[in-house]
Amino acid sequence: MQLTFLGTCAGTPSLQRNVTAIALTLSNRGDCWLFDCGEGTQHQFMRSALKPGKLEKIFITHLHGDHIFGLPGLLTSRSMGGVATPLTLYGPKGLKAFVETTLSLSASFVTFPLEIVEIEAGEVYRDGGITVTAWPLSHVVECYGYRIEEQDKPGVLDAEKLQADGIPRGAWFQRLKQGETVVLEDGRRVNGGDYLGPSIPGKSLAIFGDTAPTPVACKLAANVDVMVHETTLEAAMAEKANGRGHSTTVQAATAAKQAGAKRLIATHFSSRYSFADCERLLAECQAVFPATELARDFAVFEV
């Protein structure tokens, strides 16, 4: 999986950074999922290597403008560009009314199948390979963080052991790789599980919406490979940040440490901070959680 940050600013854009949008590319199938869609996201999309036709799902954390004002433009441009593949939106109650009202009042339309799913806390999507769950956060409006988990993959088939046991190559190898039992031409029953190495753990990541410090963070991001968390303000401004439902650098880093995350990507910085200032914010995070990285617009991270 691969994360591409299309916007890393909080509240309002700056000359250097756009408001929130994060794309997740699924390496096993090439599909793209978008998490939040702030104003100007379609422009950021065009400036990146991402392809609109690959966009399959959009997960909205909450209905503040810097997280959803880009939706109407993205949806209509997708139609005008001739993209016909289905798209599903997930987000809090009110998302359907927002999309339908803005499209209706602007006499806009979509030409592709569009489904809007208004979510509650719990599992919101599962396809056999990936599960997405939503967790309620501590913000001034209903807001969620999303945990994305890949299913563990079967271990590697031990070709040498198969050869030593006199099991010939054949179409049944694919079934053995899945741990199934097959019957060979000579009547022998072979259990694929006996020839598989240890299973390969699937990747996991947690993408937080806006939030003040919350105990939910430990469960949402428990032992994830990558945790994406807002760091709206510096440590010295904790009272202001928390009063508006946001977190500071130190609070985000502490949440990552307590959750046992392997990596933290800090994002959603107030527009008051320049690139140079963000390096100082990164240092505050790393003092608590060394495995912290700084998101910038168009930065790409492998999961």
- Name the binding residues: 62, 64, 66-67, 139, 210, 268
Q: Which has the higher per-residue pLDDT, 172 or 239? A: 239
pLDDT higher than 80, residue 205: yes
Banded pLDDT at 179 (limits 50, 70, 90): confident
User: Could you give the 3-state DSSP secondary structure of residue 103?
Assistant: helix
Tokens of 182: 């097959």
Distance between alpha carbon 164 and the CA centroid of its chain, in Å? 44
Instruction: Write down the domain spans for the chain.
Output: 2-152+204-302, 159-195
Q: Which amino acid belongs to residue 76? A: T
What Rg value do the Cα atoms of the chain yield, rounded? Answer: 22
Write the CATH number of the domain with boundaries 2-152+204-302.
Answer: 3.60.15.10
Counting residues of the chain whose pLDDT is more than 90, the rounded percentage is 74
pLDDT higher than 80, residue 62: yes
Lowest mean pLDDT across 4-8, 250-254, 274-278 = 274-278
Lowest mean pLDDT across 89-93, 186-190, 268-272 = 186-190
What is the predicted pLDDT for the residue at 123? 96
Q: Are 21 and 283 in contact (CB under 8 A)?
A: no
Banded pLDDT at 300 (limits 50, 70, 90): very high
Q: Whole-model pTM above 0.75?
A: yes
Q: Which are the catalytic amino acids?
A: 66
Please identify which residue in the block is written with the tokens 């939910």. Answer: 216
- Name the binding residues for Zn(2+): 62, 64, 66-67, 139, 210, 268
pLDDT higher than 80, residue 172: no
Kindly report, residue by residue over 132-157, the tens digit of the pLDDT.
Answer: 999 999 999 999 999 999 988 777 88
What is the predicted pLDDT for the residue at 18? 96
Tokens of 68: 């959803």
pLDDT higher than 90, residue 102: yes
Lowest mean pLDDT across 99-103, 259-263, 274-278, 288-292 = 274-278
- Convert 225-266 into a string of H (helix), E (strand) and C (coil): CEEEEECCECHHHHHHHHHCCCCEHHHHHHHHHHHCCCCEEE
